[in-house]
Amino acid sequence: MQNMDVSTRAPLIAILAGEDSGDQLGADLIIALRQRYPQARFVGIGGARMQVQGFDSWHDIRELSLFGFSEVIMHLPRLLRLRRRLLKRLLAARPDVVIGIDAPDFNLGVEQRLKRAGVRTVHYVSPSVWAWREKRAEKIGRSADRVLCLFPMEPEIYARHGIDARFVGHPLADRFALVSDRSGARDALQLPQQVPVLALLPGSRPSELARMGKIFIDAARQLAAALPGLRIVIPAANPQVYARLQALLAGGARDEASPLLLDGQAHEVMLAADVVLLASGTATLEAMLAKRPMVVGYRVAPLSYRIARAMKMLKTDIYSLPNILARASGLGDALPVPELMQEDCTAENLASATLALFRDSERRSRIVSTFEQLHLSLRGDLVGLAGDRAAAAIAELIDESHARG
C-alpha cells in the first residue's frame, strides 16, 4: 500500500465550501489535487466554479452564504437539518479526507463530528482567531486534524494550543502583480487616463446592500460634487447584486459623472482606480493587493453588533485586513486604512475620509509602499502557488491514511 503510485489511487475527497470566495478556493484545490490523484472523486457542498472542475455538489453553496449572528439564528433550523443530512451522507461515504473551506459556524461542527468518527479533517481558511477569542483555536483543533492558514501570523497562534497549522499563503497574492498597471486597467475599461477614478464596492450580500448601499452611493455622489471630473465605477459581484445596485442608483441624474455599474470585473476596477471606497471584508485584501489606497466602512446587523460587544468577543480595535496585517507585520503605528464602522459609517464621514486621500498624493504613495510590503509577506518564502501548497498539505493526510491501510 505504501508503494502504490499516487496516480493509481482514487480517493474520495469531500469539500464543504461556503461563500463565493470558498468556491474559488475549492476550484483551485480540486485542480491541484487532480495533479496528484487524477482518479479522485470530489463531493460535498460547492458552487459553479467547483462544478466546472467535476465536483459533485450535494448541496448548493448558497445554502451556507450567511453573515452575522442574527442571520445564522434566523436560518438555524434549516442549517441544522442540512447538517444532519450531510453528516449522515458523509459518514456513510467515509471519504479519505473532508475539507471545510471557511464557513466556520457550519463547517467546524461537521468536522468535529467526522473527526470523532475517525475521518481525517482539514479546515482551510483559519477563522479570525487574531480578532476574536483566541481560545477558539482549541475548538478548531478538536474539529480539524490540520488547519491551513492564509496569513503568516496565524500558525503561531495555533502552535500555542498544540494544533497542527500550516501557512500556505493567500491565493489572491498569486493573482495580483507586485507592481500594478493602472494605465492598462483603464484602457481595458475604456476609462480616461487623466481623470480621478473612484472604485465603489458597498458589499456583495443582500444584507450588506440593505444596510450600506445607500450610504455608499450617497458618499460617492458627495465626492462627485467635490471632485470635478470624478469617474465612479461600481463592480457588481453577481447578477443579484447588480439588480439591487441598479435600483439604488435609479432616480439620480444621468451624465458623465454618474456612477458606471459593471457586471463583475472588480479586480480591473480596483486597478484602474486612484482610491477605493469599500465595505470591510475580503475586498479590502484585494484592494491592498491592487496597491490602491482605500477607505473602509461597515455596518453589521445591530443585534450582531450588540451581542459581540456585550460578550466581549472582539479582541481587536481594527477591522480591515490591511490594517491587521500591517500591525502584525510591525510596519508601524500609522495604520494605512481609515476605518469607519457602525455609527461612524455615514455618507458624510466616508466622503470626507475619501476626499482626504484624493487630495494627498504623498500619503497615497506611502500607502502603496506599505501595501507592496504586505503583498510580499503574503507570499513569504513559499514556493509555488497557494492552491498547490494547500493540496500538498492535504495529500500528506491522504497518504498517511493509505499507508496505515
In a domain, 260, yes or no: yes
Q: How confident is the model at residue 312 (pLDDT cuts 50, 70, 90)?
A: low
In a domain, 298, yes or no: yes
Backbone angles phi, psi at 339, to 5 degrees: -120, 130
- pLDDT value at 332 more than 70: no
In a domain, 161, yes or no: yes
180 and 159 in a single domain? The answer is: no
Q: 258-280 in b/e burial notation, b at 16+ Cβ within 10 A?
A: ebbbbeebbbbbbbbbbbbbbbb
302 and 258 in a single domain? The answer is: yes
95 and 157 in a single domain? The answer is: yes
Please tell me what DSSP assigns to residue 38.
Answer: T
Is the separation of the CB atoms in 397 and 14 below 8 Å?
no
In a domain, 249, yes or no: yes
Chain position carrying cell 498539505: 393
Quick one: pLDDT at residue 110? 95
Is the separation of the CB atoms in 16 and 97 below 8 Å?
no
Considering only residues 300 and 236, tell me which one the structure prediction assigns the higher pLDDT: 236
240 and 302 in a single domain? The answer is: yes
Is the separation of the CB atoms in 371 and 288 below 8 Å?
yes
215 and 248 in a single domain? The answer is: yes
- pLDDT value at 129 more than 70: yes
Quick one: pLDDT at residue 309? 61
210 and 155 in a single domain? The answer is: no
74 and 143 in a single domain? The answer is: yes
Range of the domain at 59: 6-169+381-403
371 and 273 in a single domain? The answer is: yes
How far is residue 260's CA from residue 192's CA, in Å, rounded to a whole number? 13
- Within 8 A by CB and 6+ apart from 352, the residues are none
- pLDDT value at 3 more than 70: no
Given 3-state DSSP classes, what are the helix, strand and coil percentages for the chain, each rounded to the nearest 5? 50, 15, 35
Quick one: pLDDT at residue 397? 94
Q: How confident is the model at residue 128 (pLDDT cuts 50, 70, 90)?
A: confident
How far is residue 291's CA from residue 82's CA, in Å, rounded to a whole number? 40
Is the separation of the CB atoms in 14 and 97 below 8 Å?
yes
In a domain, 234, yes or no: yes
Domain tally, the chain: 2
291 and 307 in a single domain? The answer is: yes
Q: How confident is the model at residue 1 (pLDDT cuts 50, 70, 90)?
A: very low
26 and 65 in a single domain? The answer is: yes
181 and 105 in a single domain? The answer is: no
Is the separation of the CB atoms in 278 and 219 below 8 Å?
no
- pLDDT value at 381 more than 80: no
CATH at 114: 3.40.50.2000
Is the separation of the CB atoms in 169 and 149 below 8 Å?
no
pLDDT, tens digit (0-9, with 9 covering 90-100), for 49-104: 999 999 999 988 877 765 444 455 666 777 888 889 999 999 999 999 999 998 88
In a domain, 28, yes or no: yes
What is the rounded average pLDDT for all residues in the chain? 88
How far is residue 63's CA from residue 78's CA, in Å, rounded to a whole number? 9
Could you tell me whether strands 97-101 and 12-17 are parallel, antiparallel, or unpaired per DSSP bridges?
A: parallel
Its pTM stands at 0.81
Q: What is the mean pLDDT of residues 174-187?
A: 93
Q: Largest Cα–Cα distance of the chain, in whole Å?
A: 70
CA distances from 317 to 14, 126, 131, 321 (A): 37, 20, 9, 12
67 and 152 in a single domain? The answer is: yes
In a domain, 1, yes or no: no
Quick one: pLDDT at residue 194? 94
